[in-house]
Amino acid sequence: MRTPIIAGNWKMYKSVKESINFANQLNEKLKSVKDREIVIAPTFLATALVVDALRFSNIQVATQDAHWENEGAFTGNISPLSLKELGVKFVILGHSEKRQYDNETDERVNRKLKNVLKDGLKAIVCVGETLQEREAGKTEKVVETQVSGCFEGIGLGDLSNIVIAYEPVWAIGTGKNATPEQANEVHAFIRSLIAKKYNAEAAGNIRIQYGGSVKPENIKQLMAQPDIDGALVGGASLKVESFEALVKF
> Known catalytic residues?
95, 167
Half-sphere exposure of 240 (CA within 13 A, CB side): 13
Among 164, 214, 219, 228, binds ligand PGA (CB under 6 A): 214
Among 234, 243, 246, 247, binds ligand PGA (CB under 6 A): 234
Site membership for ligand PGA, residue 233 (CB under 6 A): yes
Residues of span 157-186 touching ligand PGA by CB under 6 A: 167, 172-173
Give the residue ranges of DSSP H helices in 2-104.
16-30, 44-53, 80-86, 96-101
Site membership for ligand PGA, residue 219 (CB under 6 A): no
Integer angstrom CA distances of residue 39 from 21, 31, 211: 16, 13, 14
Are β-strands 59-63 and 122-127 bridged in parallel, bridged antiparallel, or unpaired? unpaired
| Choice between 126 and 193, CB closer to ligand PGA | 126
Site membership for ligand PGA, residue 211 (CB under 6 A): yes
Distance between CA atoms of residues 150 and 146, nearest Å: 6
Site membership for ligand PGA, residue 47 (CB under 6 A): no
The least CB distance from residue 213 to ligand PGA, in Å, is 4
The least CB distance from residue 212 to ligand PGA, in Å, is 5
Site size with ligand PGA, rule: CB under 6 A:
13
Q: Directed axis angle between helix 180-197 and helix 139-150, to 10°?
A: 40
| Choice between 151 and 243, CB closer to ligand PGA | 243
Site membership for ligand PGA, residue 9 (CB under 6 A): yes
Distance between CA atoms of residues 167 and 87, nearest Å: 27
Candidates 45-53, 83-91, 149-157, 230-238: pick the segment binding ligand PGA (CB under 6 A). 230-238
Distance between CA atoms of residues 81 and 95, nearest Å: 20
Question: If you ran DSSP here, which 8-state letter would residue 33 be given?
Answer: -
Among 213, 228, 230, 243, binds ligand PGA (CB under 6 A): 213
| Choice between 80 and 168, CB closer to ligand PGA | 168
Site membership for ligand PGA, residue 6 (CB under 6 A): no
Site membership for ligand PGA, residue 8 (CB under 6 A): no
- 107, 139 Cβ separation under 8 angstroms: no
Candidates 63-71, 142-150, 199-207, 228-236: pick the segment binding ligand PGA (CB under 6 A). 228-236
Percent composition of the chain: helix, strand, coil (DSSP 3-state, to 5): 45, 15, 35
- List Cβ neighbours of 72 (8 Å cut-off, separation of 6 or more): none
Q: Which residues bind ligand PGA (CB under 6 A)?
A: 9, 167, 172-173, 211-214, 232-236
